[in-house]
Structure 1
């Protein structure tokens, strides 16, 4: 079945995700965060995806992880050895949005989906954001991320979804049935990612999985590969991840998801 948290993704069930180890909010790298290749403590070598030399487990899975504070890192996803590029955004330009987003009741958070040309994204966002009284900085950030996504993915159309998640949508570990996807979380806990070296175990064990689990920081931007629209979820291609199980916690997430046009996309937005 398809979960509402990741349309186009292979999701099974909506029951709580249970017993995985507490997520690490710093992703891979040699700067003191927990490295998937060295789960017992900080990585003291320059690693990407837990392997020395910056190839990010490419020899094992062809789907490594790279991260950086510069947006230029997003282009690294074009490397066949890279499955996910994370832009940390340590200095989020729209930080003033956070108090507004955190104070807004969940039922007033902006949401919606459309398929539009890049040049129309700002206008198409209007109906989604105006009703919530969203600051202009939110629209500016979404337009900027849409541009960055298409710069890497190619094309001039983007399938844009701004979603409010309050339950356990897509809690199960899976690979998305897309070629490329961009995700950022404006409010609430971020998407949880499993390093390629642990992917097969997470997929097999699901609720019993106790291995390393890495939670994207708020506002961090992930551009990652899936297994293709008709891909095999067990093929080893694509990044294994899940939405954090939050049912019963009172939390609400606001998630931006960008895709290329597909058979699952809505009809194209037309200016009026």
Structure 2
């Protein structure tokens, strides 16, 4: 830390007349980055005061960044994004299956309700079966008695026919109710399977999103690390030039090559 403060002081005290416009811009950039880096290290040291060796941890972090392959990080990021797309697709399909199963359950309940209502309506309208009198009444040749007998017989025949028709309808409704009694019986299991798939897909979405964030942050850290390396190299070059100027000033030889203006 003291060495870096010394370097920062040297940079800030450098004579800008020794540099051209590009050199001054580079010098300002180096000073700004050195100050930012110094402040960050101070903040990290304060926040990690309980740590036995924060500098060692930072060095290990830099070493880890140096070992990481940029191509492998990019490949991992692409794979994580592919997992996220696939998980989103599975999640959408599971939601569709859930909606279909729920709609089928409502439809099955409607069918069962309709069949029950039909049976109750037919039962309420079904008259009692007419009593068939097998006793044959003696009918004289009186036209009036014969007419009454025929009317009574026709009425009983119509009542019997109506009862049989309604009975057939009731039996048909009962058969329909029995045929749809199993309709939708497998829907609860299908719904549970779809819900399990949805939960699994949502978990995979969260995991893939976390991996994407991890790869993106790691790539950003590696890019920052590579930028810091580049700036360090520039700083080393500036310091070498500065040392050369100091030695030249001490010996009064500003032109080591021997050339004089």
TM-score (norm 2): 0.24
- Structure number with greater Rg is 2
Q: Which protein is richer in helix relative to its size?
A: 2
More contact order relative to length (CA 8 Å, sep ≥ 6): 2
